[in-house]
Structure 1
Amino acid sequence: MQGVNLHDDRAHALMNRFRFIPDARLDDLMISYATDGGGVGPHFDSYDVFLLQVHGKRRWRFGAQRDLSLKPGLPLKVLQHFEPAEEWVLEPGDMLYLPPHIAHDGIAEGECMTASIGFRAPSAHELTAQFLYHLAERMGDASDGPKGNARYRDPAQEPVSSPAALPPLLIDRVGAILANVNWNEKDIAAFLGTYLSEPKANVVFDPPERVLNEQKFVERAKKTGVRLDRKTILLYDARSFFVNGEAELLSSKLKKWLPELADTRCLEAKRFVTLTDESSMTALLHEWYCAGWLRTGALP
């Protein structure tokens, strides 16, 4: 079962133990259950993974082999040839770290459960495609009138006798348009912040059943503090903050508390009280509370 940390406080607390890794790189916590002799077969992952035994025993065999060819015709990516170099039996509390592309095979010895803490490792193709899409959106937002988002035109195009052939003029003019596309470090940071804080497609936030107005929300938060919802991803850099795929400017007022909330995922009651004179802060947190991105109360 994937994404257990999004649904269970205990799994979320366990996931938080791995926050020595940047949030931008952590993916989720998956729990796999197997009966005696069960396993998915020898395989490899394209990302770093921690394997934590939480119940029972599992025997792991692994090795850094070069041959990563797969058995054809299977729904799972099972290695065609497996050459383990080491073997360990993990008991509850034991953990195994595997770098990317290390072949491994885990076999349950009796009934067992294993927690997998995986890293986000998008491919170069995925990053390129998503970044270009981000640039296209940025260029669309920045367009101002007909000159800012002018359509292609070629008044100099002569009549042709081979209509199916791509006109050289078309290729040249489109090449000139694309040559004007540029970006800088700010664009890369903005892309990464929105892209890596975007919740997965299956994530749904649950607003409170009885929504408090802003005044009552502040009164309660003064007593209980606030915490980010398990599903909320809040990142920041020197210029901006990124929450669940949205980017906003990190103003001097926000710098007083937002990085703290992002890093600790909570603001204790005493800390919240010291910040309540900032109306922009309480308004923003109340907005997140209404959306289900933020909860009142301390961390479980």
Structure 2
Amino acid sequence: MTFPTFSGFDVTTFLRDYWQQKPLLIRNPWTSWANPLEPDELAGLACEPEVESRLVIGAQGSWAVEHGPLAEARFARLGQEPSTLLVQAVDHHVPEVAALIAPFRFIPDWRIDDVMVSYATDGGGVGPHFDQYDVFLIQGSGSRRWRVGQHCGPESPLLPHDELRLLANFEATDEWLLEPGDILYVPPRIAHDGVAVGDGCMTYSVGFRAPSRSELITHFVDDLVAEMQDDDRYVDPGISTQNNPGEISGDALARLHHMVTEKLADRQSFARWFGGYSTTPKYPEVDWTPEDPFCVEEVSLKLVNGVALTRNPASRFSFIQSGHGVELFVDGQCFPCSGGDEVFARLLCAQNRLAVVPELACSETVQLLIMHLLNMGCIAFEWDE
């Protein structure tokens, strides 16, 4: 597969002046642009039970939402009202859509969420809203008019709607008409509203993850507590008498506080937890494992024959430097790597397609690691796709 690339886009300037600061319109920066998905294919995905999708009907304050999976016949009964079909994580199912992520990998992989794809008829949209994450909105086909507005927060009033978080007040500050290949970057908490101009409007939203403080604390503490022993309890040898037995003394508070913060402050434990947490699949219930498990002999033969490996777009890969090696995290699992394993782990995290060089292909530990990842469904041999 040929991965799309940018031409003339200054990453350094973007990160310095725009990332998480202000919107930016990027007029068709692709070396060549071709819409990677047909509307019928998107509709087909919305009919699948394992794919998250929504259909938004109406506009201008009268939106109704239907959740997938959608019946195929539903699309023939849409009528004349503006409509928008939104399908999450299309990159997990369509390699050509997954390839759109490659030019944005100047942002670390662990921050990337997925590519949502929308198809809208004339006037279709989801109303003025804001998100808690960064997004690049790529116009795939047709045209969409985007307006961006004020900075929003918890105090921003919303319209009463059970399904959509629509802003009660939208103050547009800029407006652009996007044509195929154009990109609009929108930082977190910036109000924006996109409306299809004409039919056949497809937009690809490359979204990023931004864990909240409460989310990090909650899940990290849950992980710590699961490993703790019930007999790890408060002790106070050498306790002194108090003037008032009703007081919780400063010494006691210091001991109690230390019991809590000692675990929370363990950077190594946090790193290992976060590596697994951040690579947990978006949809862990989807089974990507191969029908026939691989054995190490089969893996060795294919590697010796030069068969390349490809990553499953639905899988997440990261590594953390650890001592004299790295810890490789794939779909929530940790693999300590050193020597040839470490070289392979770094290459795997950097490349979506990997031809394993002979010196690594002959390593038994590399072969075993590849076998585990193949049987998890995280990678595949190119000829087997």
TM-score in terms of structure 2 length:
0.66
1:279 aligns with 2:364: yes
SS at structure 2 position matched to 1:64: strand
Aligned to 2:128: 42
1:180 to 248, 252, 259: 259
SS at structure 1 position matched to 2:346: helix
Q: Closer, same or farther in 2 for the Cα pair 1:189/1:298, shift >3 Å?
A: farther
- 1:189-217 deviation line (CA, Å, top 9, x unaligned): 21221110111245523222344432122
Mapping for residues 73-84 of structure 1, pairs under 5 Å: 73-84=161-172
Structure 1 stretches lacking a partner, 5+ long: 144-148, 155-166
Aligned to 2:149: 63
Mapping for residues 141-290 of structure 1, pairs under 5 Å: 149-150=230-231, 176-177=255-256, 179-181=258-260, 182=262, 183-221=265-303, 222-239=305-322, 240-269=327-356, 271=357, 273-290=358-375
Mapping for residues 15-164 of structure 1, pairs under 5 Å: 15-65=101-151, 68-111=156-199, 112-137=201-226, 139-140=227-228, 149-150=230-231
| Seq. identity, % | 36
The question of whether the paired residues in 2 share the 8 Å contact of 1:40 and 1:106 is answered with yes
The question of whether the paired residues in 1 share the 8 Å contact of 2:300 and 2:362 is answered with no
**Greater Cα shift, 59-68 or 45-54:** 59-68
| Structure 1: distance between partners of 2:319 and 2:126 | 38
Q: Please provide the CA RMSD for this pair.
A: 2.8
Shift of 1:21: 0.9
Shift of 1:96: 0.2
- 1:205-240 deviation line (CA, Å, top 9, x unaligned): 322234443212221233322122222211111112
Instruction: Give the number of aligned pairs.
Output: 280
| Structure 1: distance between partners of 2:151 and 2:211 | 23
SS at structure 2 position matched to 1:238: strand
Structure 2 stretches lacking a partner, 5+ long: 1-86, 236-245
The question of whether the paired residues in 2 share the 8 Å contact of 1:268 and 1:298 is answered with no
| Structure 2: distance between partners of 1:121 and 1:174 | 34
Q: Closer, same or farther in 2 for the Cα pair 1:65/1:211, shift >3 Å?
A: closer
Higher relative contact order (CA 8 A, sep 6+): 1
**Greater Cα shift, 47-56 or 193-202:** 193-202
Give, as a single letter, the amino acid of the residue that structure 1 aligns with 2:160: P
Shift of 1:151: 6.5
| Structure 2: distance between partners of 1:72 and 1:86 | 26
Q: Closer, same or farther in 2 for the Cα pair 1:296/1:247, shift >3 Å?
A: same
The question of whether the paired residues in 2 share the 8 Å contact of 1:238 and 1:250 is answered with no
Give, as a single letter, the amino acid of the residue that structure 2 aligns with 1:108: A
SS at structure 1 position matched to 2:144: strand
The question of whether the paired residues in 2 share the 8 Å contact of 1:42 and 1:104 is answered with yes
TM-score in terms of structure 1 length:
0.84
- 1:155-212 deviation line (CA, Å, top 9, x unaligned): xxxxxxxxxxxx988xx98984553131232223212211101112455232223444
| Structure 1: distance between partners of 2:345 and 2:121 | 45
**Greater Cα shift, 185-194 or 208-217:** 208-217
Shift of 1:16: 2.2
Q: Closer, same or farther in 2 for the Cα pair 1:10/1:73, shift >3 Å?
A: closer
Q: Closer, same or farther in 2 for the Cα pair 1:95/1:130, shift >3 Å?
A: same
- 1:44-82 deviation line (CA, Å, top 9, x unaligned): 111111000001000001122457311124421000011
SS at structure 1 position matched to 2:192: strand
- 1:227-286 deviation line (CA, Å, top 9, x unaligned): 2222221111111221111123232332222111111133215x1x22133111101111
- 1:107-158 deviation line (CA, Å, top 9, x unaligned): 0011201010111011111111112122223x43xx5xxxxx406699xxxx
SS at structure 2 position matched to 1:257: helix
The question of whether the paired residues in 1 share the 8 Å contact of 2:118 and 2:202 is answered with yes
- 1:6-55 deviation line (CA, Å, top 9, x unaligned): 11110111122211110110110000111000111101111111000001
